[in-house]
A and B are shown apart, each in its own frame.
Chain A
């Protein structure tokens, strides 16, 4: 039987679309972990709030989609800042597990707030990406997938450049590698924490809009954040490039397994990859290897 290369190409392109969503959400995890060493399990819920903000600005207030996107991303950034200032900063110095548990609590509060404000029913976002299908050669690819992939790739590239060349990005890297040294160099560490949470909130809101455009929105859509957690553990919790590569790996693996083995093997393949990476490289493919001396 001849192998259907066109079908394989279409599946691969669709897989790359899913990769992009995973990578962008993974980026939000990484930004916070890199700066503050907090594994924020409320990222999925921050993503959900971003999607609902977009929904309110478009469907509720009738704003044009591009204005709504900007406002939702700003709202996501504000939410990130508020959580950091009100909940996370008072926990500074506490055990990592305590902060981790607090983020789970924040997630529950955000779900409750969404149910109170917008209701518990799932709903669809207004279509703002158009409906014309895109063909790359003969291969069909969904318009939403192309847009999602492009946006995610651009955002991740911008963050990579910012961390490399922007003064604030360098301050964030310095804080991540040694907080005390960063303080002594005059870096305003609490401000760096706030900025990291704001950027993560903005990235999560952007990802929420894209995820919501594809899969609809509901107060429980934050569960998508857990898929992205797998991505960042595979890629390395403190590596932006790791989030990108991890997202691509997981997205493609899921697409190929789901197509050729069946949808029931997707999770098996994803978590199989996670186990393999953790056994071979416990800090993830691109994570910083921390040497602890006793």
Chain B
């Protein structure tokens, strides 16, 4: 199509305005509405973009299949730039414009901030990007859940794997000096002891650390068999790994969910070889077993989709399964009913997104699997069976 400069400019301005103002799908009075404070820009944008696409796709699949009990699902979301005040502003704006039943939160800080409001409203069930252990408390957070294991449970999965593959192994933790980074450390140290492993070092890095040479020297002195990172996405993991290799350290490096995206490690290349970590979901390209939902995703999007996409997709699936069960029981979509429906999930089949049937007894899905990066294949490959931990 030929386009002159003025037409191209108009199109660009129109697209910009649509993004800036938030695209609003038309919405009927009885729609089931998912709201979202989504980090489409800022430090967490890489995840937010994937999460957004995952939720959109699952909503499309449900609507293409006739909705839920004949009711259409609408997804309303706005960018928060991963700032709590903006997330709250988006929440207030969306809830004033629509009758929202389900809500995606972008951060631990927002989940904690808005919790009192959720308790007051009693009309919204919320989940989000946070896997904070603190949120896995149905008494304190009755209308929230985590679409995967919390960070303490992720450490538990990794440590159980270590205890099985190398009993008595020496362990080091490296974490960022943030709420995110500190989350599973104390519980993880206790679990190391309980599993008969040996804690050799806990290294803390400042939030904006770039050069971690001194921390790597400490790690060399500790000489652990396994080093578990938490509180990072990518940096400074590659630097740790490449310097450790230079120094001849034999330690194996591990990480938690947000460090596990395949495309991140593909760009790192050879130094990433052997990096392991916990994944609550299958990867986009996994073909083992029966996974009709993954096949559907691959049909909808022929290119690789991130781990964040899978997280958004599964969250939407759990949201709408709760809504479906609530309506099937002839109940109204209140937070209490939605949460009860969520907790009624027992051996639920996610269509292959998670390799085993799942149950949600509390606020989390306490299951995951260890994957290992294979630099030759440029893929994260499964290195363990699915491991269930205490819920």
> Contacts of A105 on B, CB cut-off 8 Å?
none
Q: Can you report 16 A-B residue pairs in the complex whose CB atoms are below 8 A from each other?
A: A15-B214, A18-B210, A18-B211, A120-B48, A120-B49, A121-B46, A121-B264, A140-B220, A214-B211, A215-B235, A215-B236, A220-B42, A259-B214, A263-B203, A264-B204, A266-B209
Please give me the residue from chain A that is nearest to B261 by CB atom: A121
Q: A121-B46, A259-B218 are in contact. Are A215 and B239 (CB under 8 A)?
A: yes
A211 touches B210 (CB 8 A): yes
B239 touches A224 (CB 8 A): no
Q: Mark B245-273, 1 if CB is under 8 A from A, else 0.
A: 11100000000000001011001110100
A190 contacts the other chain (Cβ, under 8 Å)?
A: no
Q: How far is the CB of B85 from chain A (nearest CB, A)?
A: 16
The A/B interface has a contact count, at CB < 8 Å, of 120
B217 touches A7 (CB 8 A): yes
B239 touches A214 (CB 8 A): yes
Our pick among B46, B215, B247 for the contact of A120 (Cβ within 8 Å) is B46
* A11 to B214 alpha-carbon distance, docked (Å): 5
Sorted from nearest, which 6 A-B pairs have the closest CB atoms? A263-B204, A14-B213, A120-B45, A215-B210, A121-B46, A216-B235
> Contacts of B212 on A, CB cut-off 8 Å?
215
Most buried by A among B210, B268, B271: B210
**A interface, size bucket:** 35 or more
B260-303 contacts to A (CB < 8 Å)? 261, 263-264, 267-269, 271
> Contacts of A131 on B, CB cut-off 8 Å?
242, 245-246
Our pick among B43, B234, B246 for the contact of A133 (Cβ within 8 Å) is B246
- Besides A124-B269, A262-B204, 19 other CB < 8 A contacts? A7-B221, A11-B217, A14-B211, A14-B216, A18-B213, A21-B210, A115-B41, A120-B46, A122-B264, A127-B242, A132-B246, A215-B210, A215-B235, A216-B234, A216-B238, A227-B208, A258-B214, A259-B214, A263-B177
Q: Mark A253-285, 1 if CB is under 8 A from B, else 0.
A: 011001100111011000000000000000000
A119 touches B238 (CB 8 A): no
B206 contacts the other chain (Cβ, under 8 Å)?
A: yes
> Contacts of B247 on A, CB cut-off 8 Å?
133, 140
B267 touches A112 (CB 8 A): no
B205 contacts the other chain (Cβ, under 8 Å)?
A: yes
B243 contacts the other chain (Cβ, under 8 Å)?
A: yes
> Contacts of A18 on B, CB cut-off 8 Å?
210-211, 213-214
Q: Mark B311-334, 1 if CB is under 8 A from A, else 0.
A: 000000000000000000000000
* A227 to B239 alpha-carbon distance, docked (Å): 19
B214 touches A122 (CB 8 A): no
Residues of B within 8 A of A (CB): 41-43, 45-46, 48-49, 177, 203-206, 208-218, 220-221, 233-236, 238-239, 242-243, 245-247, 261, 263-264, 267-269, 271
Q: Mark A132-168, 1 if CB is under 8 A from B, else 0.
A: 1100000011111100000000000000000000000
> Contacts of B246 on A, CB cut-off 8 Å?
131-133, 142-143
Please give me the residue from chain A that is nearest to B308 by CB atom: A121
> Contacts of A102 on B, CB cut-off 8 Å?
none
A142 touches B243 (CB 8 A): yes
Please give me the residue from chain B that is nearest to A119 by CB atom: B46
Q: How far is the CB of B244 from chain A (nearest CB, A)?
A: 11
Q: How far is the CB of B273 from chain A (nearest CB, A)?
A: 13
A215 touches B211 (CB 8 A): yes
B206 touches A267 (CB 8 A): yes
Q: How far is the CB of A86 from chain B (nearest CB, A)?
A: 19
> Contacts of A246 on B, CB cut-off 8 Å?
none
Most buried by B among A11, A132, A142, A221: A142
* A11 to B41 alpha-carbon distance, docked (Å): 37
> Contacts of B203 on A, CB cut-off 8 Å?
263
B206 touches A123 (CB 8 A): no
* A14 to B209 alpha-carbon distance, docked (Å): 13
Our pick among A122, A132, A254 for the contact of B234 (Cβ within 8 Å) is A122
Q: A115-B41, A227-B208 are in contact. Are A255 and B214 (CB under 8 A)?
A: yes
Q: Mark A101-131, 1 if CB is under 8 A from B, else 0.
A: 0000000000110010001111110010001
B43 touches A220 (CB 8 A): yes
> Contacts of A132 on B, CB cut-off 8 Å?
246
Please give me the residue from chain B that is nearest to A18 by CB atom: B211
A78 contacts the other chain (Cβ, under 8 Å)?
A: no
* A259 to B206 alpha-carbon distance, docked (Å): 12
Please give me the residue from chain B that is nearest to A223 by CB atom: B208
> Contacts of A259 on B, CB cut-off 8 Å?
214, 217-218
A142 touches B213 (CB 8 A): yes
* A18 to B217 alpha-carbon distance, docked (Å): 14
> Contacts of A133 on B, CB cut-off 8 Å?
246-247
Please give me the residue from chain A that is nearest to B270 by CB atom: A127
> Contacts of B221 on A, CB cut-off 8 Å?
7
Our pick among A124, A142, A226, A254 for the contact of B238 (Cβ within 8 Å) is A124
* A262 to B177 alpha-carbon distance, docked (Å): 10
Q: How far is the CB of A141 from chain B (nearest CB, A)?
A: 8
Q: A7-B221, A120-B45, A145-B211 are in contact. Are A263 and B264 (CB under 8 A)?
A: no
* A136 to B330 alpha-carbon distance, docked (Å): 75
Q: How far is the CB of B188 from chain A (nearest CB, A)?
A: 17
B234 touches A17 (CB 8 A): no
Most buried by A among B215, B236, B245: B215
